């Protein structure tokens, strides 16, 4: 089983990228996590752009990687109470052509880390809404890591209690994907 992992953060040392690295380290047996690191390469979406010629190469690659994945795991920071613009931009591209796009029916889990007290819960709610509109199958288990700077050690390892929460998200995501494949 292959899970495509996307960090909504472009920042070096991002807690959301560290969260995805933790997911890679504790992925269940038989699960490959394919981390997508090219979010910054996806050009701005324009409603007419996908209809007036070839899809830009970075968009095509993103769409193909989503299509090849059995499930998607997205870690999002919270910017101004919502999701980062570059992540929303990539999802707008991934949602074309609508309604038959690569996210339609795809199991997706939403997680996130923030240095604030709520762990980016607003961003996660916004992301779930966007994914639902695209037709993705958003799993119910999520994970908001509050005070992220206190939840990772100096080597970027996730604290034990948080690792258990992440394992539950991965478990539900893999179960949802397996149910679809059956």
Contacts of 54 (CB under 8 A, 6+ apart): none
Q: Number of folded domains in the chain?
A: 1
User: What is the domain-level CATH number for residue 167?
Assistant: 3.40.50.360
> What's this model's pTM, rounded to 2 decimal places?
0.95
Question: Could you tell me the sign of the dihedral formed by the alpha carbons of 148, 123, 8, 63, in that order?
Answer: positive
Query: What would you report as the CA-atom Rg of the chain, rounded to the nearest whole angstrom?
Result: 16
Domain that holds residue 160: 2-181
92 confidence band (pLDDT: 50, 70, 90): very high
CA-based nearest residue to 96, from 42, 57, 59, 58: 59
71-80 pLDDT, tens digit per residue, is 999 999 999 9
Q: What is the pLDDT of residues 20-77, one digit of tens each?
A: 999 999 999 999 999 999 999 999 998 765 566 788 999 999 999 999 999 999 999 9
């Amino acid at each position: 089983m292959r899970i495509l992992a996307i960090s909504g953060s472009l920042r070096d040392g991002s807690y959301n990228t560290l969260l995805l690295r933790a997911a890679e380290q504790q992925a269940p047996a038989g699960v490959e996590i394919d981390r997508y690191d090219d979010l910054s390469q996806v050009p701005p979406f324009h409603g007419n752009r996908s209809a007036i010629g070839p899809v830009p190469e970075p968009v095509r690659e993103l769409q193909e990687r989503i299509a090849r994945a059995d499930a998607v795991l997205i870690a999002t920071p919270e910017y101004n109470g919502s999701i980062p613009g570059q992540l929303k931009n990539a999802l707008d591209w991934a949602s074309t052509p609508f309604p038959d796009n690569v996210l339609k029916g795809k199991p997706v889990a939403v997680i996130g880390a923030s240095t604030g007290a709520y762990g980016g819960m607003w961003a996660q709610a916004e992301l779930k809404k966007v994914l639902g509109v695209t037709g993705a199958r958003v799993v119910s288990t999520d994970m908001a890591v509050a005070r992220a700077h206190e939840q990772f050690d100096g080597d970027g390892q996730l604290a034990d209690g948080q690792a258990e929460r992440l394992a539950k998200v991965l478990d539900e995501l893999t179960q949802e994907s397996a149910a679809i494949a059956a």
